[in-house]
Amino acid sequence: MKNFSGYIFDLDGTIYLGEEMIPGAVDVIDTLQTMGKKVLFLTNKTIESRQKYVAKLNRFGIKVGLQNILSPALVTIKYLKEKHPGEKVYVIGEEILKEELEQEGILFASTPQETQVVLISWDREFHYSHLNFAYQAIKKGAVAIATNPDRTCPVPDGDVPDCGAMIGAIEGATGQKIDGIMGKPSILTASTALEILELKPEECLMIGDRVETDILMGKVAGLNTALVLTGITKRENMEGAPYQPDYILDSVYDIVLKRSTEESFTR
């Protein structure tokens, strides 16, 4: 496999499943760091802080800091400050996301009438009042954006509904598509990742378990892409898939096992 200067890893389904590490993942990261490669972990989840991700990876034996973690919260904050400065936002999301936004000076709306942006994220306490507030605000002209489009999130015993379910409910009520996505597969996330790594797209490999987010984002941004089969996507799903990765790997451990022989990979 071709050597790259930067490696961008999805987390859930790629590095770990819940509290279970993907076998060999620690060795892969250690090997790449020893080689002097730049490593970035990219999550679409907004129910944990970046500090929690650092602590979790450190606990597993992966030595990283905040500079190695990119989340939709960071991309969203940057977007709101650049495109909607000073505007009031209604947030469908959990407390950790609201805290991150508040710490960066994002203003929260208390009524649909004053809402200028509706931000939709994964909320495990999503209910009808959220839906109605968002519906009324969007009907009055508020812009609707989402942190990520994931329909489900992989867990050790299967998967659970993710932000896509909240998006679906709101699009179903309003009859219109939301205005934008901040996390994968958005080019906004890819651009932010490349800024952090200070690398060009062709110098990086994006590794993830979802065709519709990880691989699509990589393709749109000009990154090299590798799909791992340890999460949502299975090999049988790839026949006829609209976005084909450059590499299909049984797991991230294949990066160490086969990185020296590109022909060893299933194309």
Q: What is the pLDDT of residue 258?
A: 62
Distance CA 215, CA 246 (A): 9
Of the chain, the percentage scoring pLDDT greater than 90 comes to 81
Q: What is the pLDDT of residue 239?
A: 85
List, for residues 229-263, the tens digit of each pLDDT value. 998 888 888 888 888 999 999 999 999 876 544 44
What CATH number is associated with residue 176?
A: 3.40.50.1000
Where b means 16+ CB within 10 Å and e means fewer, 20-52 reads ebbebbbebbeebbeeebbbbbbbbbbbbbbee
Instruction: Write out the two tokens for 130.
Output: 């959220």
List, for residues 84-100, the tens digit of each pLDDT value. 999 999 999 999 999 99
pLDDT mean over 186-190: 96
Classify residue 60: in a domain, yes or no. Answer: no
CA angle 252, 258, 259 (to 5 degrees): 85
Instruction: Write out the two tokens for 148.
Output: 């990520």
Give, as one character, the DSSP assignment of residue 105. Answer: T
Note whether 177 and 100 are same-domain residues: yes
Q: What is the pLDDT of residue 211?
A: 92
Tell me the pLDDT band of 264, cut-offs 50, 70 and 90: very low
Classify residue 20: in a domain, yes or no. Answer: yes
**The domain boundary residue, chosen from 150, 181, 212:** 181
Instruction: Write out the two tokens for 215.
Output: 């691989």
pLDDT mean over 130-149: 97
Cβ-contact 83, 89 below 8 angstroms: no
Note whether 120 and 189 are same-domain residues: no
Summary mean pLDDT of the chain: 93
Domain boundaries, position 237: 6-44+184-264
Of 67-81, 104-118, 224-238, minimum mean pLDDT range: 224-238
Cβ-contact 75, 186 below 8 angstroms: yes
Q: What is the pLDDT of residue 2?
A: 82
